[in-house]
Amino acid sequence: MIRKFTVKDVFFNNGLINLYQFLQEYAFDIDIKLEKSFLELKYKDEKIFFEILNKFLEEKEIVTFNKKNTRIFFDTNTNEFTQSAKVNIKNGGSNDSKNALIRVHIDNLSISKEELLKKEEKYIQENENYTKDEYKIEKCYYDKSKQEIYVLSSLQEHIEKFSSYLVKDDFLALNSSIHNFEDGQKSFHDMIKISKNYNIDKWEALIYWFGTKIQHYFNFAFFIYPNSSNLEALNIFKRDLKIRDEKNSFRDEDDNLITTNTNVNFYDQLRKDKIFGKKFKNFYISKSDVEFELKFFMYLFSKISHIESSYEKALDKDKMTKRKEKIFNALQEITFVVYVEDGTFKKSLSEYTKTYQFIQFLEELKKTKINIQKEQESNLFVYLADMIVTFGLSQSSKEININFQKWCKAFLEFKSLRKYYYVTSFNILKNESKSFGKDLYEFEKNYLKNIMKGKNMSTHEKSKILGESIGYFCAELGDKDLLFKLRNVKNYKQLLSYFKDLKFVSLKYEHKARFSKEFNESLEEVINILETDWEIIRDYIAIYAIDKFKATNYAKSQQNK
């Protein structure tokens, strides 16, 4: 028999690859062939279907014993009533668990009905908890007629019983037995745009189970699926980058086991880039889909950049290069679909050109060293993680940080980031929270050069000089007034008036004003473009003034200790 399955929706495509990799891992009497647009299976006997399904239910721990919860069974080996572990169906309902139980007619037991009644009496005498619901004698029988009894069985027997319940016919209704969403907002057939009256072939159902049965998104805040109409590319991507379908957990630096609400293990990967410790404690908590997507591409870049560590001392550099090349080629064919806890799916960076450009930019960040003079040399890729923490801390954890979400979205879409730094800088000033630090300048300079094609680079540089001088002056005065006045500037005339006020205040406090020749030259240059670029100038001045103000005050506080 030959079955050929072609690409469909994101669940089916992932199911095809998961099935393909599963059949490669375990020995089944089946020939498999994967090409760009299809998966082909060749087998002699249809019984192979249940062999695969049963192994899948076992290995993915979909059918298990729940040793913490027990119930009453009849043990046919000892002919006694006993209490043993319940059968648990991952993400299943009580009806699923019930249909995994083995029951036999009492006429088929090796003891008579009279003897069975005596066994009931013995059980009641020996078990004080016999009145509790799960341990009542009645619970051991299928119905009130007591003609069928639930018998103690092996896990394999329960698996086979459950699979026969799942697949009663060659064609199955596309209902919750195939997949369901725990938030209850959308049904599976709606999500994949198939009529609810459509019946699918049992093999198609199996593929959907391989794509969705491992998880039902329950308690997943964010779940990411790679997807492609090129199955070969999807296979390379999932295999080499080990993007799993299960919920992840990790052990932090204090050896605490942390269970995440996503299928991506950011921690174990990004700690290779020194993104760990108390400083980054809040980094690993995502509160929006765009924040999660941004971190996912950091994870993706880190995975690719650390491929060489897979090869001992990088002796096989040719193999390493070919593997990287395969992944980048596969990346051309990949889109990413994010499931968020509100029950929606969102495509993320679906254009390869953007994905590739984003990865390239992250590589530039990693190449750019910072804190070179200090013992702990770092780079802008690590600073990006630090910046994400800064955004998160700029507002109360109880508030929705809309500005941060907008920054993430703009970053993913390669738009200007300036105004989001501006808003957050004033939040930092107001809330006395962690500041962006001096490395923001290098980050923004890199972003303007590599992503914004050099736009506003000179204005950014000159405004930074002005901002730092103003921030230092405000710190010397011990007054935030000049900083908050920047927030009230709404046009170029008001900004011009601001500079006049600054000159007046600097003359008044001449002994504390140290405006350099570079400051005066920069001011002259920005005034020439003030009418057209006043908002850009205002924003950058405010960003760097606030940062310098906080840095100067911090330095003073350290000196006074």
Do the Cβ atoms of 402 and 417 come closer than 8 Å? no
Q: Which of 203-217, 460-474, 498-512 has the lowest mean pLDDT?
A: 203-217
Q: Residues 519-543: pLDDT tens digits?
A: 999 999 999 999 999 999 999 999 9
- Residue 3 β-bridge partners: 41
pLDDT for residue 44 is more than 60: yes
Q: Residues 413-470: pLDDT tens digits?
A: 999 999 999 999 999 999 999 999 999 999 999 999 999 999 999 999 999 999 999 9
Q: Residues 194-211: pLDDT tens digits?
A: 666 678 899 999 999 998
Of 527, 517, 519, give the one whose Cα is nearest residue 544: 519
Backbone angles phi, psi at 134, to 5 degrees: -75, -15
214: CB partners within 8 A, 6+ apart: 18, 60, 62, 245, 246
The winner for highest mean pLDDT among 207-216, 282-291, 458-467 is 458-467
**pLDDT score, position 185:** 44
Q: Determine the residue type at 56.
A: F
pLDDT for residue 222 is more than 60: yes
**pLDDT score, position 200:** 87
Measure the CA–CA gap between 48 and 95, rounded to whole angstroms.
26
pLDDT interval class at 295 (50, 70, 90)? very high
**pLDDT score, position 304:** 86
**pLDDT score, position 559:** 78
Measure the CA–CA gap between 267 and 374, rounded to whole angstroms.
25
Of 109, 118, 110, 105, give the one whose Cα is nearest residue 146: 105
